[in-house]
Structure 1
Amino acid sequence: MLKTMNKNVTFLENPMKQRYLFQESTDLMQTLFILPLHFSKDSWQQTALFSLAESLEIPILFIYKRTKKMRVPPKLPKKTLYLTIPVPADPVEVNIKLNSLQNISMHLFSFKMKGQELEKIYQKSARSMRIARGFQHLCLPTPIQNNHIEIKGLSQPSTELLGDLFFWTEVSDGKYAFIMIDMCGKGIHTALVHMSIRTLIPELIKRIRDPILIIRELKKHMKGLFQGMHWEDTFNACFSAFIAYVNTRKRFIEYVNCGHPPAILHAPDTNYILKLSEGAGPIGCIKETPITKVVFHYEPGSRFIIYSDGLSKSPSPSAAERTERIEKEFIENAHLSTHDLLQALLLSRMRHSEIDDDISIIAGTLF
């Protein structure tokens, strides 16, 4: 009957020797697999053939003899797609069921090919992400520690790529510059803008040496970066920033805060606390706001932290309550080393809820 239908059929009678048939995906398109079910008078025997059907996700036609005492099998494979047919069988029924299985075979082959292609895309994307993350990690600044200042940082990404950026450097003898940027949104576009700004920062802060002028240069850079793009594609093309210069010889700080969480300065000897929050709105937003620079003197031994809103953002408690908590924890842990202080602040945030935003913290001491 099968020969007259010109069907290419493989009978699965010795599964251990025939297992190679399923190693190549093209078999699903070329061959229909037929599995004869062995039985006793009133039960189905659990043979190696049945185990094969259970282990392989292939379309199989189960054949059994039509007898008076034959009953419906107690269970059939769950992982494979199959049809059953009793023999002797009607040619029309056989043709319908074989065509149905062939259609199933074609769909399975198509899904398998798509799955393999998606896996290749995923592997390629994952490798690209690892390389990009490596680049971002290499761009993190090295700690500074001398008789005038100590600076260390911590970065905890929420996804593969960082949206936060921080950098510091000594711009001249005894004068240091800090910058922290928190990109709006997440994803590859955020990382691209992040790296674009990161390549600009070192030369910019050494050449200009004024927070207000740096803000203007960053605004100009963002405007040129997104020129010609649709408005909806640039909606999240903005970022908050904290930029500061510290003169350790004259002991004064000048800073601009552009929509960033307030940095905190604490003088342990006098318990003086200062929140550095003044400046302007986020960079890249449509609405322009005036830029205010603040200049003030600090006491020797003052400690400071600068952080992104990932540290204060949590479902519960509110961001405002978390900000107060951060200030309290900073002061309570002011006796710790800078490394331990950074770890204590991160651990406290991790206790509250799952981290769904990048966390960046700069901490240090002004001697």
Structure 2
Amino acid sequence: MSILIVDDNKVNLFVIEKILKRAGYNDFVSLTSAREMFNYLDADTPSPKETSVDIILLDIMMPEIDGIEACRRLQEIPHLKDIPVIFVTALEDSNKVAEALDVGGIDYIMKPINKVDLLARIRVGLRLKYEKDWHRKQDEKIRNELDLSMQVQSSLLSEPVETEKLLIKASYLPANKLAGDMYYWHRIDEHRSAIIMLDMMGHGISASLVCMYISSVLRDALRTYTDPVRVITELNRWMNLLNKPESPVHYYFTAISMIIDTENKTVEYVNAGHPPGYALLDGDKVFALSTGCCPVGFFPEMDVKKNTISFEDRIQILLFTDGVMEALEKDDVNGLDKIRSAVSKGWLDCRTSSPIDFLLPSELQRDQPDDMCVVFIQAQ
């Protein structure tokens, strides 16, 4: 524990030092100006070391830089702003004292200094510093755990596919470090590929945890079943194992699951409560992949309906989560109409572009309240 005393009057420094020594506080440093204080704290160092100062006793009336301005500057320095500042002043101007507290001071003591008052305020300040340090360490621990979770979640997403017959790419923009959106694809055989996109209820940590829970089931389901109906039915079974009657929250997700067959030129799909997605067939016909059943996890049993699209030459499909629609609608446009229009423009070159760039300008891709995900598919 270290106390920093800053006062241009050496008599005041002597008095405070005596009080601290008699109370058992021997780790303190006395300075005579705010400039000395900033130098001692490495305030102007680009890569400052962790400070050992636990509390600052700061005089208000000092030449060059007064205590109020010094405290204001401390609050602007990340590694110093959490040090409690107690003002020591002879001023009886309540407006000046209020200003001192407004800039970041936690308390004040009047001169001449009363020993009991000073020690009581120091104890309060030290408790506050301890609590701030504890919360800072906890926050750092949580950030590290979130970073690891983000890496794990990202590793579950599929890599792009680029072959002569098939192109699959995705854009993935979580609102926070962890997201409730997910996509995955699996090559069944030489001609068929299974693809799924899902959007878990909510976003953030809870949605991502449920997302990771379902991811292993999802991978097994896409590898085991060659029918989107079976895939969605299996995922619903697992979601209902999670949704116990006594659970305070009922989790569900929307999804589009499909099988693309480049030999037979077909797309079989199930839309479980998800935004429709759009397909451009043979360069001129736009087809909406409309909802065929309720979201996964709503009910123990689902009446799952499958649809089939046939194409003669080639097909282009754009799947997206509702965060993309909401971002578009901030510009006072209908999100679905905007996406349908982008798809209808013709065969898009996505090999060198991110799929979301076809839908959203860069300024709408940042700082959105919901996760955003776009999957782009071309088959021929």
- TM-score clears 0.5: yes
Residue 190 (structure 2) pairs with residue 176 (structure 1): no
Q: Which moved more, 1:241-250 or 1:185-194?
A: 185-194
> 3-state SS of the aligned residue for 1:160?
coil
Deviation at 1:247, TM superposition (A): 1.4
> Deviation digits for residues 264-286 of structure 1, max 9, x if unmatched?
111254x1111111420001114
Aligned to 2:141: 124
Report the counterpart of residue 213 of structure 2 in structure 1. Answer: 196
Change (3 A) 1:137 1:319: farther
TM-score by length of 1: 0.77
Contact between 1:151 and 1:363, CA under 8 Å: does it hold in 2?
Answer: yes
Q: Tell me which amino acid in the other structure corresponds to 1:82.
A: Y
The question of 1:185 aligning with 2:202 is answered yes
State the match for 1:362 in structure 2. Answer: 375
Pair 102,256 (structure 1): closer, same or farther in 2 beyond 3 Å: same
- C-alpha contact 1:262 1:277 (8 A) present in aligned 2: yes
| One-letter code aligned to 1:8 | A
CA gap 1:74/1:251 in 2 versus in 1, 3 angstroms: closer
Q: Which residue pairs with 1:238 in the alignment?
A: 252
Structure 2 distance, partners of 1:72, 1:196, is 61
Can you list the C-alpha shifts for 1:296-339, whole angstroms capped at 9, x where unaligned? 31231221111111111248459981101111022226343344
Residue 296 of structure 1: aligned partner: 309
Q: Which amino acid aligns with 1:263?
A: G
Q: Quick one: which of 271, 274, 278 aligns to 1:264?
A: 278
Matched letter for residue 59 of structure 1:
I
**TM-score of the aligned structures, taking structure 2 as reference length:** 0.75
Instruction: Please state how far the C-alpha of 1:46 moved relative to its aligned partner.
Output: 2.3
Distance 1:59 1:258, change over 3 A: same
Quick check: 2:84–2:128 contact (8 Å CA) kept in 1?
A: no
Question: How many residues align structurally?
Answer: 335
Q: Of 248, 251, 264, which aligns to 1:250?
A: 264
Is 1:322–2:335 an aligned residue pair? Answer: yes
Match of 1:83 among 102, 106, 109: 109
Structure 1: distance between partners of 2:307 and 2:313: 19
Which structure: larger Rg? 1
Q: Report the Cα distance in structure 1 between the residues aligned to 2:222 and 2:58, rounded to whole angstroms.
A: 74
Distance 1:242 1:171 in 2: 17
Note the 1:1-367 alignment, pairs <5 A.
8=23, 15=31, 23-25=52-54, 46=63, 57-59=84-86, 61-62=88-89, 78=100, 80=105, 81-85=107-111, 97-227=114-244, 229-230=246-247, 232-234=248-250, 237-269=251-283, 271-286=284-299, 289-314=302-327, 316=329, 321-332=334-345, 334-340=347-353, 342-348=355-361, 350-351=363-364, 354-367=367-380
| Percent identity for Structure 1 against Structure 2 | 20
- What's the Cα RMSD here? 4.0
- For residues 237 and 62 of structure 2, the distance between their equivalents in structure 1, rounded to whole angstroms, comes to 78
CA distance in 2, matches of 1:23, 1:352: 41
3-state DSSP class of the match of 2:178? coil
Q: 1:101 to 1:197 in 2, by over 3 A?
A: same
Within 2, Cα distance between the matches of 1:137 and 1:112? 37
Unaligned runs of 5+ in 2: 1-14, 42-50, 75-82
